[in-house]
Amino acid sequence: MSRIAVIGAGAWGTSLSIVLARNGTHQVRLWAYEEEVRRSVESCRENALFMPGAVIPASVCVTNSLAEALDGASIVVGVMPSHHARNLYRQMKPYLRMSEVIGTVLAAEPYGFSPRLGALSGPSFALEVAKGDPTAVTIASDDDELTHVVQREFSDPNFRVYRHHDLIGVELGGSLKNIIAIAAGVIDGLGLGHNTVAALITRGLAEMTRLVVACGGQAETMAGLAGLGDLVLTCTGSLSRNRSVGVELGKGRKLNEIIRSMHGMVAEGVLTTDAAVGLARKYQLEMPITEQTYALLHEGKSPREAIHELMTRPFTTE
């Protein structure tokens, strides 16, 4: 029986723990930063803070000790918010061996060894995964053996894992789609229709693809689960936190007020937008939706002004 450590007990970490515990062949340890999450799981087998109502199997052991979570783990799944990844992996380093590391690392640093890294991504709302709704995702790595291991260990009749080799593309796709989802929410908050959302998704995918290719990924990746699939879900699904932020922006609420009302839930697109704008400038790419979303979030631009600027840009080919 393999031992798997899940580092991060938000909605996605909780749902992955449930998936891994379902088939009965794994010892799952879930590391939770929040003490209230640990107490909730131990007392009533529920993550009342981030995923109320989802039953966490008794075989999932929750802990707030990284040493305990990582002890003897053959697979480590990092599902912390990307802006916490660097610090957490630094803390995890003393407990990891070279052959044990699998994670979604968006801000990696040299650790003194060469970890085996993969990125798991795709259209997958955590609540629906936990419920057992049929879901398909992809695991990407340049380590072919690793993708086969993850595909075998994570898959069950309700959770299908595909293999992919484009780690850069899958990682970036899973991050960049959150920016477009915020913009899609703005459209809904303004009361605009399906034409506008369809155009946004299509042109947003084009922006994502340009940046992925510039960073060394492959354009074809953006046509798959970690690109188009995840983008459509996040832009249209009511469970999307990033889309929800955009909806409230479209209704005229201020970003700080929206973030406070989320009670600790993370909408990663808010921070990702800043990083994406920086990368676009570095590679001299046009990413007008991303730039206007940044202006909405961080410069106080009005939603209707942003849309007007997008629609009146100089004409070009598709």
CA dist., res. 14 & res. 6, Å (int)? 8
As a three-state string, the secondary structure of 78-124 is ECCCHHHHHHHHHHHHHHCCHHHECCCCCCCCCCCCCCCCCEEECCC
Give 239-242's long-range contacts (Cβ < 8 A, gap of 24+).
239/125, 239/127, 239/128, 240/125, 240/181, 240/185, 241/265, 241/266, 241/267, 242/178, 242/179, 242/181, 242/182, 242/185, 242/267, 242/268, 242/269, 242/270
Q: Which of 93, 131, 177, 251 is catalytic?
A: 177
Q: DSSP E strands: which ranges in the chain? A: 2-7, 26-31, 60-63, 75-78, 119-121, 135-140, 159-164
Instruction: Answer yes or no: 251 catalytic.
Output: no
Active site residues: 177
